[in-house]
Amino acid sequence: MSALSATMHVLALRGAEVVANPAEPLESLAGGDGQVLWIDLPDPTPETMGRVAGLFHLHPLAVEDALQRQQRPKAEEYEESLFITTHAARPEGAHGEDMALDEIDIFYGPGFLITAHAGAPPVIDEARRRIILAPHELRGSRGYLLHVILDVVVDSYFPVLDSLDGYIEDLEDTLFTAPSAQTLDRLFAAKRTLLHLRRVAAPQRDMMNLLMRHDTRLIDEPLRAYFRDVYDHLLHITEQIDTHRDLLAGALDIYLSTVSNRLNEVVKVLTVITAVFASLAVISGIYGMNFERPFPPFDWPYGFWAALGIMAASVAVMLALFRRMRWL
> Quick one: average pLDDT of 47-53?
90
- Checking if the pLDDT of 12 tops 90, the result is no
- Checking if the pLDDT of 272 tops 90, the result is no
Longest dimension (CA), the chain: 123
- Checking if the pLDDT of 70 tops 60, the result is yes
Nearest CA to 41 out of 106, 97, 127 is that of 106
What is the structure's pLDDT at 31? Answer: 67
- Checking if the pLDDT of 188 tops 80, the result is yes
- Checking if the pLDDT of 293 tops 60, the result is no
The pTM of this model reads 0.76
Q: Which are the contacts of 6, defined by CB distance < 8 A and separation ≥ 6?
A: none
Say which residue, 51 or 260, is predicted with more confidence: 51
- Checking if the pLDDT of 14 tops 60, the result is yes
What is the structure's pLDDT at 247? Answer: 84
> For 127-170, how does the pLDDT look when each residue is reduced to its tens digit (9 = 90+)?
999 998 888 778 878 888 999 999 999 999 999 988 888 888 88
CA 251 – CA 92 distance, rounded (Å)? 22
What is the structure's pLDDT at 327? Answer: 67
What is the structure's pLDDT at 125? Answer: 92
Q: How confident is the model at residue 294 (pLDDT cuts 50, 70, 90)?
A: low
Count CA within 13 A, CB hemisphere, residue 56: 32
> For 73-92, how does the pLDDT look when each residue is reduced to its tens digit (9 = 90+)?
888 888 888 899 999 999 88
CA 137 – CA 15 distance, rounded (Å)? 7
- Checking if the pLDDT of 122 tops 70, the result is yes
Say which residue, 117 or 209, is predicted with more confidence: 117
Domains, in order of start, for the chain: 1-151 (3.30.460.20), 264-324 (1.20.58.340)
Q: Which range has the worst mean pLDDT, 61-75, 102-116, 219-233, 273-287? A: 273-287
Q: How confident is the model at residue 117 (pLDDT cuts 50, 70, 90)?
A: very high
